[in-house]
Chains A and B, each alone.
Chain A
C-alpha cells in the first residue's frame, strides 16, 4: 500500500519541480487562508490578493521546503508574514479596521436566519475590536483548529503561555460580544 499524498508530500512533489502540485495544495487550502485574511482585515478584495500572494510565495519558495516541516504551520507563517507586510505597506500595523461591509453572504429568507446572520456579524465585529494578538490566537485556535502547541510553534511562543493567553482572549471576545449585544 503506497502512502497517500498529504500536503507535506505534495510539497515534496512541488519542490522537485512538479508545479501542478501547487494546484492541489491551493484547492485544499485556499478557503482557509482566505477566511483567515477576511477575519483579520475585514476586507474581501484585500484578502483575495493576499491569498493569491501566499500561494505564489509557496510556489516561489518551494525549493526551501524541508521534509520535517508541517505544511499547515508553514502555510500560516507565510500568511502571517503576508499580513504583516500588508499592514506595513498601508501603515496600519494590525490596526482595528473601521466597519466595512461584512463579508458573510446574505442569503437570509426568514426572521430566524436573519437573527443568526446578525449574531455572526456581531461576532465578527467583536473579533475586530480585540487586540490584534488576541484576535490571532482566536483565529488560529478556534477557526483554524490549531492546538496550543501548534500555535506556539507558529508564533514562536510556548505552549503554556499560549493556553493562558488564548483563554483570556476568548473571555475578552465574549465580553465584547455581550457588550455589543446590549448596546
Chain B
C-alpha cells in the first residue's frame, strides 16, 4: 500500500468501517511508516473532537409549531382555537371577578337578560381557561386543564385546546391531566374520539401511551385498532407499552 492510499483510508480505519483485510494491511503500514503514523494520530484525536460536537438544541416550541401545522392540514374542517393575546392572562382575575359580581347582581331576577349575561360570562370564563391552556405551564396548567373540565360545555374550541395540550405539552403530568379530562368525553364526542386515536401516533412517553391505549380500549373505540398496532410495531416503543398494547388489542374487535 502506498502512503497516499493509506492516508485517504485513515478516517475509515478510525471509524472501523474497513474490511478486516484492508484494516490489517493499513495497520501494518502505519506501524512501519512514521509519516502515516503521525497522520493517523493527528486525525484520530481531531476526529474524536469533531465527533464530540454536541447536538444543537432546536429552539423550544419548534416541534409544537409543526404539530399544529400538521393538525391543521389533517382535519380540514377543524375549528380554530381562538388565539388570545397575552394580556388575557392578567385579565383573567378581572374577568373571574366580573363573573362573580354579575352572577351575584343578577341572581334571582330570572329574566332573559340574566340568562344571556350568564352565558356571556360563561363564555368569557371559557376564553380565559383556553388562554390558560395556551400560556401557562406546570402546576398552573394542570389547574387550567381541570378548570376546563369544570366549565366544559364540550365546545370544539375547548376540545381543540385540550387535544393540543395532550399532543404538545412538554410536561407529562399536564398531558396526563388533559387525557384524563378528555377521557370523560370520549364516549359521546366524535371529535374527542378521533383526536385520541390520532394522538396515539404522536405520543412518545410510555406512561401517556399506556394511558391512551387504556382509555381507548376500555371505551371500546374500535377505530383505534390500527394506531395501537402501529405503536406496538414501531421501533423504539417501550417493551412495556408493546406488551400492554398486545393485551389490550384482544379486548377490541
Contacts and interface: CB of A to CB of B under 8 A. Distances in A.
A52 B56 contact: no
B62 interface: yes
A56 B69 contact: yes
A4 B201 contact: no
A179 B229 CA distance: 55
Which bucket holds chain B's interface residue count?
A: 35 or more
Contacts, number: 102
Contacts of B53: 120, 123-124, 143
A167 B7 contact: yes
Interface string A90-125: 000000000000011100000000000001100110
B65 A52 contact: yes
B61 to A, nearest CB: 9
B8 A163 contact: yes
Contacts of B62: 30, 34, 48, 51-52
B234 interface: yes
A30 B56 contact: no
A24 B70 contact: no
A59 B42 contact: no
B47 to A, nearest CB: 7
B204 to A, nearest CB: 7
A23 B201 contact: yes
Interface residues of A, number: 48
Contacts of A31: 55-58
**Chain B residues touching A, majority SS:** helix
Given A19-B73, A20-B74, A164 B8 contact: yes
B67 interface: yes
B44 to A, nearest CB: 12
A44 to B, nearest CB: 6
**Chain A residues touching B, majority SS:** helix
Interface string B1-17: 00000011011100001
Nearest to A38: B56
B83 interface: no
B101 interface: no
Contact of A55 (B50, B59, B66): B66
Interface string B63-80: 101110110011000000
A170 B11 contact: yes
B196 to A, nearest CB: 12
B17 A30 contact: no
Nearest to A160: B8
Contacts of A39: 56
B195 to A, nearest CB: 11
A105 B62 CA distance: 16
B66 A26 contact: yes
A59 B73 contact: yes
Interface in B15-45: 17, 42-43
A104 B201 contact: no
Nearest to B167: A23
Contacts of B201: 18, 20-21, 23-24
A6 B11 CA distance: 29
- Which 9 residue pairs are nearest across A and B when measured between Cβ atoms? A4-B235, A20-B201, A34-B58, A35-B56, A23-B202, A19-B74, A167-B8, A38-B56, A5-B234
Interface of A: 2-6, 13, 18-24, 26-27, 30-31, 34-35, 38-39, 44, 48, 51-52, 55-56, 59, 103-105, 119-120, 123-124, 138, 141-143, 147, 163-164, 166-167, 170, 173-174, 177
14 contacts: A19-B73, A20-B70, A23-B66, A24-B234, A27-B202, A30-B62, A35-B55, A48-B58, A59-B73, A105-B57, A120-B54, A142-B47, A170-B46, A174-B43
